[in-house]
Amino acid sequence: NAGVTQTPKFQVLKTGQSMTLQCAQDMNHEYMSWYRQDPGMGLRLIHYSVGAGITDQGEVPNGYNVSRSTTEDFPLRLLSAAPSQTSVYFCASSRQGSPTNTGELFFGEGSRLTVL
Amino acid sequence: KNQVEQSPQSLIILEGKNCTLQCNYTVSPFSNLRWYKQDTGRGPVSLTIMTFSENTKSNGRYTATLDADTKQSSLHITASQLSDSASYICVVSSRRGDYKLSFGAGTTVTVRA
């Protein structure tokens, strides 16, 4: 089982460039989300979706866009990359509509982004 | 202010020894608490999840405890193995229904032969 698949695993950008981090899950999960992980800090929620066509902002949404046209895919777009967006990004999904229920949250392997 | 605090930040133990990690939280109203294991360069993987009514749960050599009154949880690793070297993350959710989880910064465990 593939689970949650993220691409690319590594990416280097220059300030001002745009790019898209891809996330796909094959578990037919309703809930999908993007987090960033920075040293010494807990994971922080960027955007999330509770189903196709529905997205909402998390704690740190500025500089990022998302869309959810299908159940399987939830891409994260960086509009104009900044050095502050250097981080490791994780996509996660959950079968239930909300991960605050007892449904398990499944994470991808992460995408390490460096912005110069 | 982070609503989930973990201690210690890191620890080193010898293979075969036990260790206990701590998690204190202020998230309210409480729904559930999870422990995740994150190997270096990988995504977090769930170890346990506990609701308000549960005060202990085991997953192999991992045992989590929860005291909802004092808002504390611990993760005990028994007879540590080299493969236990990882970061352990405490995650707490509330019953606000706002789809947001509160993550601790993690405890990095290094097991030495």
Q: How sure is the predictor about B1, in pLDDT bands with cuts at 50, 70 and 90?
A: low
CB atoms within 10 A of CB A106: 21
A42-52: b (≥16 Cβ within 10 Å) or e: bbbbbbbbbeb
Q: What is the pLDDT of residues B74-97, one digit of tens each?
A: 999 999 999 999 999 999 988 776
Using a CB–CB cutoff of 8 Å, tell me whether A26 touches chain B.
no
Using a CB–CB cutoff of 8 Å, tell me whether A38 touches chain B.
no
Q: Is A108 exposed, middle or buried (0-12, 13-18, 19+ CB in 10 A)?
A: buried
Average pLDDT over residues A27-56: 92
Which candidate from A56, A100, A108 shows the least CB-CB separation from B94?
A: A100
Tell me if A101 and B31 make a contact (CB, 8 A cut-off).
yes
Average pLDDT over residues A15-40: 95
Using a CB–CB cutoff of 8 Å, tell me whether A48 touches chain B.
yes
Q: What is the pLDDT of residues A58-82, one digit of tens each?
A: 999 999 999 999 999 999 999 999 9
Q: What is the pLDDT of residues B27-80, one digit of tens each?
A: 888 888 999 999 999 999 999 999 888 999 999 999 999 999 999 999 999 999
CB atoms within 10 A of CB B28: 12
